[in-house]
Each structure stands twice: as C-alpha cells, then as structure tokens.
C-alpha cells in the first residue's frame, strides 16, 4: 500500500517515513505544502496520505477538500499537534479517515493505517484531546489559534516566528487577523478575550 506524507517540517516527514520503513507500507513521496501535496497525490495516486493541519500559510484541511473534489480516492490521515476536538471535527467533515495527534504513540498511527488498508470505513482517532470549545465562535483558523496560544507567555513576533517556522511578516499578518476577529485593540485585550471564551488557556 502506497503512502505519501505532507508536512511542512522535514524532521516529522523523516520520522514518520522511518517508522513506516519496517512495515508493509511504502512511502512513495513527500511534500511540504498544499500545492506540492496535490501534485504528488495526482502524480502517484497513493492509497493513503498522511497530512498535517498547518502547512505554511495554508491548511491540510483545504488539501483534503481539494483532493476529494478532484476525484482522488486517497484516504487521508491527519497527523497534527492540534488536540482540539473542533479541529478534529473540521477534518472529519472535510473527508479525513482518521485524526492522530503528534503526541500519540507512533504504533497507534500505524495501527490506524493498517485498519484503513484492511478496508475500515469507520472514522478513527488517536491521542489525547481537549474538550470542545464552548465560547463564542470567532472563526479563527488553526494557525491563528496556534499564534494566539503563544501570546500569554509574552512571546515576541520574532520568537513566534522561530517557534512556528513562519516569517515575521506572516506572524504579523496572523496577529492583525486575530485582533480583527476578536475586536481587540492590542495583545493584552486579545489574550483576555481568548481566555474568557476558552480559545486558549492562561499560561
């Protein structure tokens, strides 16, 4: 069974490919963005695509939607740092076959892939998850939530840029979008609104 891995971190791609090297599955291609991911899916027609949620300025959820719309028969397994059930539901609604947090043991990822290869059509998940958000829905993207979660610690634009492997200009764009969506005048107000609405936890 052929597999492609789409993740913007090369160390993650290497780790997953290495873990699968001693199984019956063949990693035939890797990609680091939505456009590259679609290209390898269309070229190699894999059975399974392991995809991250955060792919630079875009999203693995968008890749899933676009690939399915284009008629791909590939099964998508989301492998992400996100442990929010609302993100899991978004991935499921987009057409993902499974959702695995990067904190889950690699054997659980392999077991899920084995179930899919055996023909399972039941949505599967692995890892520890946070409860569904109960606050107001501000329509923040997963990446914006990720940036927002770093604000209570006092992280600078430069620090956030380094931690998330983004350019400082991209971080500033995310911050502007966050402030606009939260109707916040500054960082302190954005953090206060986010904590009050259970978007993030206080550090």
Residue 198: which region, alpha, beta or left (left: phi > 0; alpha: psi -120 to 50)? left
Provide the sign of the torsion angle of the four alpha carbons 130, 110, 124, 3, taken in this order. positive
What is the pTM for the complete model shown? 0.67
Fold: same for 2-126 and 142-196 = no
Query: What b/e sequence results for 109-143 when a residue is b if at least 16 CB atoms lie within 10 Å of its CB, and e otherwise?
Result: bbebbeebbeeeeeebbbbebeeebeeeebebbbb
Q: Which residues contact 27 (CB under 8 A, 6 or more apart)?
A: 3, 4, 5, 16, 17, 20, 21
Angle at 19 between CA 16 and CA 22, to 5 degrees: 140
Find out whether 51 and 75 touch, Cβ atoms under 8 Å. Answer: no
Topology of the domain comprising 142-196: Arc Repressor Mutant, subunit A (1.10.10)
How does DSSP assign 104-115, residue by residue? Answer: S-HHHHHHHHHH
pLDDT tens, per residue, the chain with 203 residues? 999 999 999 999 999 999 999 899 999 999 999 999 999 999 999 999 999 998 877 899 999 999 999 999 999 999 998 888 888 988 999 999 999 999 899 999 999 999 999 999 899 999 988 765 556 678 888 899 999 999 998 999 999 999 999 999 999 999 999 999 999 989 999 998 888 887 887 65
- Return the CATH superfamily for domain 2-126: Response regulator (3.40.50.2300)
Listed by start position, the domains of the chain span: 2-126, 142-196
Copy the structure tokens of residue 160. 């956030």
């Amino acid at each position: 069974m052929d597999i492609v891995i789409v993740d913007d971190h090369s160390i993650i791609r290497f780790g997953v490919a290495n873990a699968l090297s001693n199984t019956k599955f063949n990693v035939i291609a890797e990609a680091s963005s939505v456009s590259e991911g679609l290209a390898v899916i269309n070229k190699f027609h894999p059975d399974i695509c392991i995809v991250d949620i955060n792919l630079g300025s875009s999203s693995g959820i968008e890749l899933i939607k676009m690939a399915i719309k284009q008629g791909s028969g590939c099964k998508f397994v989301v492998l992400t740092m996100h442990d929010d059930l609302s993100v899991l539901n978004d991935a499921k609604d987009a057409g993902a076959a499974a959702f695995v947090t990067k904190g889950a043991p690699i054997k659980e990822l392999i077991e899920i892939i084995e179930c899919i290869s055996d023909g399972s059509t039941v949505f599967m998940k692995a890892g520890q998850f946070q409860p569904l958000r109960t606050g107001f829905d501000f329509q923040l993207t997963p990446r914006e939530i990720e940036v927002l979660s770093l604000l209570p610690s006092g992280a600078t634009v430069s620090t956030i840029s380094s931690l998330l492997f983004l350019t400082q200009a991209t971080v500033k764009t995310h911050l502007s979008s966050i402030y606009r969506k939260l109707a916040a005048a500054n960082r302190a107000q954005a953090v206060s609104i986010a904590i009050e609405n259970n978007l993030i936890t206080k550090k």
